[in-house]
Structure 1
């Protein structure tokens, strides 16, 4: 997890191995090695047959137990968690799109009308996808409420492969570190967010933020690289509209 005080050959393929065996050994030697290996394997199985059957039985029990847990406990728990989170999500959406944002974000976090908030979901349904999503929403709510340390905490606990949410979570952590006056950490998270996906929304947005922070830190070459990437790879993005100005500024600073 991020902290608040930082300033901060492929293995050889099977085909290659087989090719080397063919070149370095005769056919007879290869078959002889295979026969010896097979004999040793048979001897081991015969000697340890009872032990092996016990291991197989344990593995089968674990697999069946996991499948049973997933079907009869985890799945119903997830459905229950999502139902419980409905009201919190409603408050959150209203806060994002409406007025009285602070009070609505607080309701989303702590609950209202007798329903759970995101913090309750995280605690009561730990380990479910609903609790994972609640971490993202809670982190975003704390960011909007300017509680930046808690924002970093919850956003760092969020895990996702989603095309948009995954980079947004990293980028929001970067935003929090900017507010915490930790620009090095902000730059790191902006770069992570920019590199996570190549879509035309999050990638240019975080390349731009990374570039501007890099300029502030005196890292003109790095800033120029980020700005140039926007120009070359995302020419239709919003950020590309004024990117030539920033490229020029980075070039001037890089040549000093």
Structure 2
């Protein structure tokens, strides 16, 4: 389970800024790309858990449109954070726009980005020493927005020992960063009283590595997102 720098601290989490620093572990290889044929309209939820207590939730929905796709998510962490993100994609699965709106206590945070095949332009407004950021950056067809990671990762091909390189755009930071997801092992977890085979992988590239647990059978879903070293994690809820 997370672009507006403090925002992006949201699901991965409000306590830590994640997935923003280039990884040194990524081996030289082409970045992984979203296959739009693997996108499936669905609604999914994860519970935010800290120190064994439920402290909030994150919910996203992927909707098929006449000319592409819409991804919408909302994250709530009590009174600390309420964030909404909308991402529009064309029929080829290429991002065309990102919009974020959030409140953190008394602070409002916004970020907007327009995507073409080769560039992303936009701005963000957040509290802090650099409250207003603008950006105009080169991108490739493999670039994805960091808010879209949890929906994209299950569509990729996972195999134990593989490292998936990802080119990730942070709208709040105005940066494009290489990330690396290493698939460490297969495992089995219990979900609603049944055994579910999963992949376990770790994403590097931020201040903290982030563990992802993804079901092996399609349609795949993320079952857990846990920054290693942080008390906050996002875990699947029933239904």
Report the TM-score range of the alignment, normalised by the length of the smaller protein: under 0.3
Q: Which has the larger radius of gyration?
A: 1
Q: Which has the higher strand share?
A: 2
Q: Which has the higher helix share?
A: 1
Q: TM (normalized to structure 1)? A: 0.24
Higher relative contact order structure (alpha carbons within 8 Å, sequence separation ≥ 6): 2
